Structure 1
Amino acid sequence: MESLAALYKNHIVTLQERTRDVLARFKLDALLIHSGELFNVFLDDHPYPFKVNPQFKAWVPVTQVPNCWLLVDGVNKPKLWFYLPVDYWHNVEPLPTSFWTEEVEVVALPKADGIGSQLPAARGNIGYIGPVPERALQLDIAASKRALQLDIAASNINPKGVIDYLHYYRAYKTDYELACMREAQKMAVSGHRAAEEAFRSGMSEFDINLAYLTATGHRDTDVPYSNIVALNEHAAVLHYTKLDHQAPSEMRSFLLDAGAEYNGYAADLTRTWSAKSDNDYAHLVKDVNDEQLALIATMKAGVSYVDYHIQFHQRIAKLLRKHQIITDMSEEAMVENDLTGPFMPHGIGHPLGLQVHDVAGFMQDDSGTHLAAPSKYPYLRCTRVLQPRMVLTIEPGIYFIESLLAPWRYRASGQVVGRHGAKARSASTSTGRKLKRSSLSAVFALKITWSSTKTAWKT
C-alpha cells in the first residue's frame, strides 16, 4: 500500500478540488475553518471534553487541540494556525511535524484571540465553518460569537449551501480516508477481543470496558462514541451506557458496541456473544450472523440502501419462523404488518467516517435535496443509492424488548405464540436479548470489498 503521506497528498488534492467548486458556486474567496474551543462546565472552572469540528479534521489530523484555524481557497497551500500558547497549567501540544505537514503551511498561534491579526484585512467574502452556539447569538453573548468578531458577514457563517455541498461529498472516501478507517477498525478489533476475554472470565461491564480501552489505547473521552457494554438483559436497551460495577450472578450473553478512532476517522463494531455455545440463543446468534453475511454478499453499487434494509426485514421474518418465535403467519405478512419492526427497531446501519453517524445520509445531490426514511422505518439513517467509495455499517439485529413486544402479546389474533415469543412472558423479560452480530462496516470502494473488511476481524 502507498505510504500514508502519499495518500494524504492525494487526499488534499481532492479536498482542494471540492473547495474550488464550492467557492465558485457560492462566490466566496476562501473558507475559514475553526477547530473549536473549550467550554467550561456551568458554574465551574474546568471544561467539557473537547470534540473537534469534523470539517476541520477532514483536512488535518489534529483532533485534540482547540483554538486552531485553517484557511483554504482551493488554490494555495492550506494554512493552519496551530494554537501554541505559553502555558504551565496545561499540556501544550508542540508544533506538528508529521506525514501531513508538508502539504499544509503550519504557523504557531500563541493566543486564542489572536487570529484576527493573522487573517486578510478584507474578509467579508470568506465563509466561516465552525461552532457558533445559536443561543449565544440570540442573547448577543460576544464571547461566543467568534466569527462575527472577525468581521465575517453573518450570511457567510456556516452557510447552508456550502455545508450541504461539503457534507454530500464526504460520503465518497479518499484512499487516505479508507486507510485511516482500516487502522481504526484494527484497533477496535483488538478491543473486542480483549472484551470477549474479559466477559469469558466473568468480569463486570465496568471492568470489561476498561479491558477494551486498554487494548485500543483510548481514554473513554477518545472513543468516537460511548461504548455499549451490555450483559444479559441490558442488551435490550439500544444505547445502554451505564456500566454496572458488579457482574451478574449468571452470565447469559454479552453485547459490545464499541469503536475506535484513528486520525479522526471512526470505526463502529458491534458483536454479540452467547455464554453457552449449544443453546437456542447461540443458534439464533449464528443465524443472524449468517443472514447478515448473506445480505452483504448481494450488495452492489446502484442499489438504494433502503432496499437492503427492507430485505433484512424479510430475512428476520424467516428467522422468526425458523426459531418458532412467531407461528401461523407468513413471512410476507410479518413484513407487511411490521411485526418484524419490534425485533429490529433501528435501521440496518448508517454512513461511517469522520463521524460515527456520518453526514448526508439523506442527501440525494450536492444541493442538499433531502429524501426522508420511509415512514414505516423512521430510524433508518440513510436513503442514498450506494456508490463506490461509500462506507456504511451493516448491523442488523434481533431484539427482545418488552415495551415493543407487549402490544402484540395479547392481540386477539393469537399469532405470536412461539416458545420465545409474545405470549411467553419469560422469553421477553428474563432474556431481554439483542442479537446483533457485527457492524464490520461493509465498504463500497474501489478495490475494497467486504471480504477484505472481514479479514481485518481475523488478523
Structure 2
Amino acid sequence: MDKQLFSEHLAILCKRYDEILEQCGFETLNVYSGSPSVQFLDDNYYPFRVNPQFKALVPVTDNPHSWVIYRRGQKPKLLFYRPVDFWHYVPPAPQTFWSDEYDIELLSKPDEAKAFLSGENAAFIGETGKLEGWEIGQRNPQHLIDQLHWARAYKTPYEFACLREANRVAVRAHQAAEQAFRSGASEFEINLAYLNAAGQGENQMPYGNIVGLNEHGAILHYTHLSTQRLSENERRSFLIDAGADCNGYCADITRSYAYRDGEFADLVTAMHEKEQELVAGLVPGASYVELHKDCHHKIGQLLQQFGVIKTSPESAVESGLTGTFMPHGLGHFLGLQVHDVGGHQTAPEGGTTPPPTEYPFLRTTRTIEENQVFTIEPGLYFIHSLLSDLKESQLADEVNWDKVEKLRPYGGVRIEDNLIVHKDRVENMTRDCY
C-alpha cells in the first residue's frame, strides 16, 4: 500500500478526531484492540476479532492487548503487544507503510500499558471486561461513538484503495469458486477453492462464506458446507456470498449461477440487469429507502416476467407479496465492517431513523452522499417457510404455484456489487475487477 496515501489518510483522520473530541469534551482517546476469549469449559480461544474502532486508527487486525492513544493535535501513540511466548505467533515490531505515522511502544505484558494510559479528560472505546480498575477515562461514551460512527461513512482515498484491493482478491476467489462448481465440487470443496484463490483463511475472511448449491441458495446465511458431491444431473444452481480483507477493509460480493441454460439461467441474467439499474440509482442526494422500494418494484417485474405471480408488480409491492420473495434489505454501508456502522443514524449527534415497517431488515436509511460506500444486492428466493405462510394467506391466489414448484429446487438468486458514490458517477469496484 502507498505510504503517502496512508499519510494523507491519517491526516484527514486526525483532523476529524480533533474536531470530534473537542465537540464531545475530551482531550484524549484511548482505544483498545481487545483481548482473546477462552471457550467455555476449554483451554482454546475463540478466533480474535479486533475492535473496529481500533483498526479505524491503525491497520492492525490480528494483535490483542494493543492500544492507540490519541491526544488532540498530537502524533498518535501505538502500544503494540509483543509477548515472550513460545506457544503462539508473536508479530514483529511494525516496520511497514504506516509505522512512521505513530510513536510506537512495545509491550511484553498487557499490564505495561498502564504506564502510558491516563483517565484524565479522556474517553475509552473497547471491551471493558478485563480492564477493571484501569484508569482509562469515560468508558464508551455514546455521544462520542455516535460522532465517530457518522464520520466513518465518508471514506478517504486510502480507504477506497483498500476496498478496491479487497474486491480484487474476492473477485479472483469468486472466479475460482465458479470453476469448482462447474467441475462438480461439493460446497466444502468450493469453499476451499475460494479460500485458496483468495490466499486468506477463514479467520481472516470478514464473514463466514455462504456457499449454497441448489435449494441451499434459499437459505440467506447458509454456512453448513456439505461435503457431498452432486452428480451431473443433480447440479442445478449455485449461490456464493463471500468477501475478502485488505488492511481491515471488507469486500462483500454475491454471485448466482445456473449449471445449464434454461429458465433459471434467464432469471440470473435478468437479475444482473435489474441490479445494474439499481446501482445507477446511487446518486448523491437520493434516498436509500426509496431505492430499496424501487428494488421491490423490480422484483415484482421479475416475478411477473417469469410467471411466478398473476398480479401486477405495483399490486405485488403494495400488498407486500414481493416481501415473500425478497425478505432482506437492498444493501448496506461497507468499510471496516461488512455491515458498516451508522446506517440508521439520524445525525452526527445520534438518533435513529428506523426502516419502514414493511421493510424491517433494511440496514440503511441515510441519504446517499458522495464518498460513501454501499452494497447493492437484490435477491429473489423460494424460501419454504415464507412460501408456506403465503400459501395460507389471502394473497395465495395471486401466485402461480406450479411455477413456484418448478423454480423452488434452484433455491434463489442474489447479485451483489460493492460501490463507491462519487460526485458525478458510481464506481463499481466489483465489476471493474472482472
- Normalised by the size of structure 1, how large is the TM-score? 0.91
Say whether 1:315 aligns with 2:293: no
Equivalent residue letter for 2:113: I
Shift in Å at residue 297 of structure 1? Answer: 1.9
In structure 2, list runs of 5 or more residues that go unmatched.
none
How far apart, CA to CA, are the structure 2 residues paired with 1:300 and 1:356? 21
Aligned partner (choices 112, 128, 142) of residue 124 of structure 2: 128
Equivalent residue letter for 1:384: R
Shift in Å at residue 432 of structure 1? Answer: 4.9
Equivalent residue letter for 2:104: V
Query: Partner residue of 1:21?
Result: 19
Query: Partner residue of 2:95?
Result: 97
Query: Partner residue of 2:212?
Result: 230
How far apart, CA to CA, are the structure 2 residues paired with 1:177 and 1:411? 47
Aligned partner (choices 89, 110, 113) of residue 111 of structure 2: 113
Partner secondary structure for residue 420 of structure 1: helix
Query: Partner residue of 1:217?
Result: 199
RMSD: 1.5
How far apart, CA to CA, are the structure 2 residues paired with 1:50 and 1:412? 48
Query: Partner residue of 1:434?
Result: 412
How far apart, CA to CA, are the structure 2 residues paired with 1:158 and 1:367? 15
How far apart, CA to CA, are the structure 2 residues paired with 1:51 and 1:324? 45
Q: Deviations over 1:139-193 (max 9, x none)?
A: xxxxx2x1x422234xx10000010100011000111111000000000001100
- Normalised by the size of structure 2, how large is the TM-score? 0.96
Say whether 1:342 aligns with 2:342: no
Cα pair distance change 1:85/1:451, threshold 3 Å: closer
User: Which structure carries more strand by proportion?
Assistant: 2
Query: Partner residue of 2:10?
Result: 12
Shift in Å at residue 418 of structure 1? Answer: 5.5
Shift in Å at residue 237 of structure 1? Answer: 0.6
How far apart, CA to CA, are the structure 2 residues paired with 1:163 and 1:403? 38
Shift in Å at residue 10 of structure 1? Answer: 1.3
How far apart, CA to CA, are the structure 2 residues paired with 1:26 and 1:182? 33
Pairwise mapping of residues 20-419 of structure 1 onto structure 2 (< 5 A)?
20-120=18-118, 123-133=119-129, 144=130, 146=131, 148-153=132-137, 156-249=138-231, 250-276=234-260, 278-327=261-310, 329-409=311-391, 411=393, 414-417=397-400, 419=402
Q: Deviations over 1:312-333 (max 9, x none)?
A: 1001111111111111x12211
Equivalent residue letter for 2:342: A
Check conservation: 1:19, 1:73, Cα contact below 8 A.
no
Partner secondary structure for residue 317 of structure 2: helix
Q: Deviations over 1:5-64 (max 9, x none)?
A: 111111111111121112211211100000111111112222111110110111111111
Check conservation: 1:401, 1:432, Cα contact below 8 A.
no
Check conservation: 2:252, 2:338, Cα contact below 8 A.
yes
How far apart, CA to CA, are the structure 2 residues paired with 1:304 and 1:411? 32
Check conservation: 2:334, 2:374, Cα contact below 8 A.
yes
Instruction: Figure out how many residues of one structure are paired with residues of the other and give that number.
Output: 431
Partner secondary structure for residue 381 of structure 1: coil
Q: Deviations over 1:98-151 (max 9, x none)?
A: 01011111111111111112234xx23211111124xxxxxxxxxx2x1x4222
Aligned partner (choices 445, 450, 459) of residue 422 of structure 2: 445
- Which portions of structure 1, spanning 4 or more consecutive aligned residues, are displaced by more than 6 angstroms? none
Partner secondary structure for residue 63 of structure 1: coil
Equivalent residue letter for 1:99: F
Q: Deviations over 1:297-352 (max 9, x none)?
A: 2331101100110001001111111111111x122110000100011100000110
Check conservation: 2:419, 2:429, Cα contact below 8 A.
no
Check conservation: 1:32, 1:129, Cα contact below 8 A.
yes
Equivalent residue letter for 2:220: L
Check conservation: 2:218, 2:412, Cα contact below 8 A.
yes
How far apart, CA to CA, are the structure 2 residues paired with 1:262 and 1:321? 41
How far apart, CA to CA, are the structure 2 residues paired with 1:370 and 1:32? 26
Shift in Å at residue 248 of structure 1? Answer: 2.7
Cα pair distance change 1:24/1:281, threshold 3 Å: same
Partner secondary structure for residue 188 of structure 1: helix
How far apart, CA to CA, are the structure 1 residues paired with 2:368 and 2:426? 14
Partner secondary structure for residue 212 of structure 2: strand
Q: Deviations over 1:58-79 (max 9, x none)?
A: 1111111101011002311100
Partner secondary structure for residue 29 of structure 2: strand
Equivalent residue letter for 1:126: A
